[in-house]
Amino acid sequence: MTYDLILGDYAYSSWSLRGWLLFENFDIPVKTRMVDFSSDASMAEMLADYAPARTVPTMITPEGAVVSDSLAIGEELASRHPDAGLWPSDPYARATARALANEMHSSYGALRSDCPMNLRTAYVDAAPSDDVMADVARIEQIWTHARKTCGGDGPWLCGSYSIADVMFAPVAARIACYNLPVGDVARAYVAAHLSDPAFRRWRAMGLVRGETLPWYAKPYVTRDWPGPAPLAAKPVEGQDSENSACPYSGKPVTHVLELDGRRWGFCNAFCRDKTAADPEAWPAFMAMIKG
Q: Shortest CA distance to 265 belongs to which of 280, 246, 279, 248?
A: 246
Residues 6+ apart with CB under 8 A from 37: 8, 9, 12, 13, 210, 213
For residue 37, what pLDDT is reported? 86
Determine the pLDDT at residue 43: 87
Domain architecture of the chain: domains with CATH: 3-80 (3.40.30.10), 91-201 (1.20.1050), 233-290 (no CATH)
Over residues 239-270, the pLDDT tens digits come to 999 999 999 999 999 999 999 999 999 999 99
Q: What are the tens digits of pLDDT across the range 36-67?
A: 888 888 888 899 999 999 899 999 999 999 99
Q: Which residues contact 200 (CB under 8 A, 6 or more apart)?
A: 194, 227, 228, 278, 280, 281
pTM of structure: 0.96
82-110, pLDDT tens digit by residue?
999 999 999 999 999 999 999 999 999 99
pLDDT at residue 195, rounded to an integer: 98
Please name the amino acid found at residue 99.
Answer: A
Q: Band the pLDDT of 291: cuts 50, 70, 90.
A: confident
Query: 155-164 b/e with 16+ CB inside 10 Å = b?
Result: bbbbbbbbbb
Q: Residue 9: CB partners within 8 Å, gap ≥ 6?
A: 16, 34, 36, 37, 206, 210, 213
DSSP E strands: which ranges in the chain? 3-7, 30-34, 58-60, 66-67, 233-236, 255-259, 262-266
pLDDT in tens, 179-235: 999 999 999 999 999 999 999 999 999 999 999 999 999 999 999 999 999 999 999
Query: Is the confidence at residue 1, as pLDDT, over 90?
Result: no
pLDDT in tens, 141-175: 999 999 999 999 999 999 999 999 999 999 999 99
Average pLDDT, the chain: 97
Residues 6+ apart with CB under 8 A from 97: 87, 88, 146, 157, 158, 162, 163, 164
Q: Is 56 left (phi over 0), alpha (psi -120 to 50) or beta?
A: beta
Which pLDDT score, from 0 to 100, does residue 77 have? 98
